[in-house]
Structure 1
Amino acid sequence: MSGDDDSNGWQLTESDPGVFSELLKTLGVPLIVDDLYSLDSESLASLQPLHALIFLFKWVSTSSDSMSGNYDPEFPGFFAHQVVNNACATLAVLNALGNIPALKSGSQLTQLLEFTNGMDPQTRGLVITSSDWLREAHNSLSPPSAISLDGLGLPKQTEDAYHFVVYLPFMGSLYELDGLKPHAVRHGSYNETGEGWLSRAREVIENRIATYPPGALDFSLLALREDPLPLIQAELAELQAAGKQAEAAGLVVKLESETSKRNRWNFENSLRRHNHVGLVHSLLVSLAKAGKLESAKERAKGIMKERVSKAKSKGEVMDES
């Protein structure tokens, strides 16, 4: 779970495909993460081969256990408990990667998975979150804030807590791996034909979303998938070599789209890595001295409201405060 009070060194992570894909690159894994705005068949088919779904939701404490599925204490796959706050994003990724057969990965991740093989979920979680290199990779796109409100006597506000879990196929069944639960959760078997495990996952996730108030946008969904770029490049080179320019035209559009997406991720990640507090402070001081701070504030509020409205229309989660 991700909360607002933690000193273990793990920082909050955005539910952003660029952040997750950069983490996967650091881990040496040839996969990417994409936003998934719909669970309809067309959207899911466009992302194949798809290995897992990462689900982010607002943590709501309930007095009764409304969990669907059944605990599987004998789950033979990779499952690690979350033992520190703010690590749930990376833990969800590892709980997915650890159950993908013959997955290529970097030496550090390979050694970590091999070292934790056979451990119980609690011990495995302790080992994972004690890995300095993994924590640094996790935190690399979540720089600490340079602004501290300590000592100002301001009332503390409790922020909403959000949590990442993963849904994936394993040995003919759909599993939910939630680091805060004692065991992996089995959601039943699925039909190997048609959409396969994704059909069962759609049902489970939609039922879970239905437990929230109508119109709630307190969740997002990400797809862990094969990186399509190498395949597109190879197919395009083959078509162009064969002189099939008409067929190659469609792949050129796909290639440009994928390249543009990665350029955007790289730019956004470069902004995340840089601490802009000093620059912002200087700009605010300059605006105040020029008597333009109030008008700039009102203009910024209007832009923010417009962004929130657009995000809600796309089904995205965005805080207006």
Structure 2
Amino acid sequence: MSDEESGWHLTESDPGVFTELLKSLGVPYIVDDLYSLDPDSLAALQPIHALVFLFKWLPTSGSEPDPASGAHFDPDFPGFFAQQVVNNACATLAVMNALGNIPSLPCGQPLQELFSFTTGMDAQTRGMVITSSDWLREAHNALSPPSAISLDGLGLPKTSEDAYHFIVYMPAMGCVYEFDGLKSHPIRHGAYEEKGEGWIAKAREAVEARIATYPPGSLEFSLLALRDDPIPSLQSRLKELQEAGRGNDAEAAELIVRLSNENSKRERWAFENALRRHNHLGLIHALLVALAKAGSLEPARDAARRKMEERVARRKEVGMDLDEE
């Protein structure tokens, strides 16, 4: 199914994009990048509700759960699970599969009504209902505007593109589950212990096992943490210290620094999301016109052509296709 037929656009694996999506759904959580699975890094972000894992999709990668690791399909899973039935919707499907299994989820009325409406449906029907929801598709596409230029119909050679896919690891009913919209059922990775790291330890094992199926040194992965927004609790604690006359002690100073970092992050996300929403075609056209008027357009075009020819020559020397760069 083409992008035009599905109506869903590709989504970046970016915490600002996911956080903005959560905001539009009325969910007071955020998403943060995870650069490490070590206990200290994860502990700093608690409470974490789910891990969103992006990976390069391969036909043989994780196609079936490994029983030796304790992973099994759970066709009787009583929670929320929706299958992906259209292209490019896997990011929002992953978020929905995560949110649908968080007890007492705070959310907006449209999302609450959607979860209520799909109660009791099978996974495929639930996926069809979700991806047919206009308001949800609009929220998804808001940060992934369609291209202003279409190359369809120009007879250009088709090139294969790597496919990437979002899935979720999270706790549900005492076990760690993997929710993959391309699978027929959720995958149960086994029970976890409440003490220590809790479900995170079991989820780490599952994520590391998935990564281990790729060649050593592969970097086609991204891991995000769905977590509580830390700003309200930081502000509350700082207010308590200030009211107790401890507004200048070390803990208060640390809280102020953390709040500043969080607010700076939000400002960066807002700026980047504004750029994503903006159509830069007008700016590009204006720059081309300015270069032409200054007599610099043809020299710039010739320089770009030379660089492309050099690039093609280098690729041919090492026996690589241009698309592999």
Task: Verify same fold: TM over 0.5.
Answer: yes
Which residue of 1 is the match for residue 315 of structure 2?
none
Which residue of 2 is the match for residue 205 of structure 1?
207
| CA shift digits 1:145-199 (9 cap, x unpaired) | 1112223321011211111000000111110000110001001111111001100
For 1:254, give the aligned amino acid.
R
**SS class of match (2:166):** strand
**SS class of match (1:221):** strand
Q: Is the 8 A contact 1:33 1:222 kept in 2?
A: yes
Which residue of 2 is the match for residue 259 of structure 1?
263
Which residue of 2 is the match for residue 125 of structure 1?
127
Distance 2:42 2:10 in 1: 28
Q: Is the 8 A contact 1:4 1:158 kept in 2?
A: no
Shift of residue 67, structure 1, vs aligned partner: 2.9
| CA shift digits 1:89-122 (9 cap, x unpaired) | 0010010000000111000000000111111111
Matches within 5 A, 1:63-212: 65-68=63-66, 69-212=71-214
Q: CA, structure 1 residues 64+280, in 2 after alignment: closer, same or farther (shift >3 Å)?
A: closer
Distance 1:197 1:34 in 2: 18
Distance 1:39 1:259 in 2: 25
- What count of residue pairs does the alignment treat as equivalent? 301
154-163 or 55-64, larger mean C-alpha shift: 55-64
Which residue of 2 is the match for residue 305 of structure 1?
none
For 2:271, give the aligned amino acid.
F
Matches within 5 A, 1:306-321: none
Distance 1:157 1:320 in 2: 11
For 1:105, give the aligned amino acid.
C
Shift of residue 6, structure 1, vs aligned partner: 5.0
Q: Is the 8 A contact 2:33 2:225 kept in 1?
A: yes
Distance 2:37 2:62 in 1: 28
Shift of residue 285, structure 1, vs aligned partner: 4.3
Distance 1:46 1:295 in 2: 52
Distance 1:65 1:159 in 2: 20
**Uncovered stretches (5+) of structure 2, i.e. residues with no partner:** 309-322
**SS class of match (1:217):** coil
Equivalent position to 1:33, from 31, 34, 55:
31
| Runs of 4+ with deviation above 6 angstroms | none
Shift of residue 130, structure 1, vs aligned partner: 0.7
Which residue of 2 is the match for residue 16 of structure 1?
14
Percent of residue pairs identical: 67
**SS class of match (1:223):** strand
For 1:283, give the aligned amino acid.
L
Which residue of 2 is the match for residue 293 of structure 1?
300
Structure exhibiting the larger radius of gyration computed from Cα positions: 2
Q: CA, structure 1 residues 295+230, in 2 after alignment: closer, same or farther (shift >3 Å)?
A: farther
Shift of residue 62, structure 1, vs aligned partner: 2.3
**SS class of match (1:7):** helix
| CA shift digits 1:10-68 (9 cap, x unpaired) | 10000000000000000000100000011000110011000000000111112995533
For 1:207, give the aligned amino acid.
A
Q: CA, structure 1 residues 225+320, in 2 after alignment: closer, same or farther (shift >3 Å)?
A: farther
1:280 equivalent in alignment to 2:280: no
Which residue of 2 is the match for residue 42 of structure 1?
40
Q: CA, structure 1 residues 320+63, in 2 after alignment: closer, same or farther (shift >3 Å)?
A: closer
Equivalent position to 2:49, from 48, 51, 63:
51
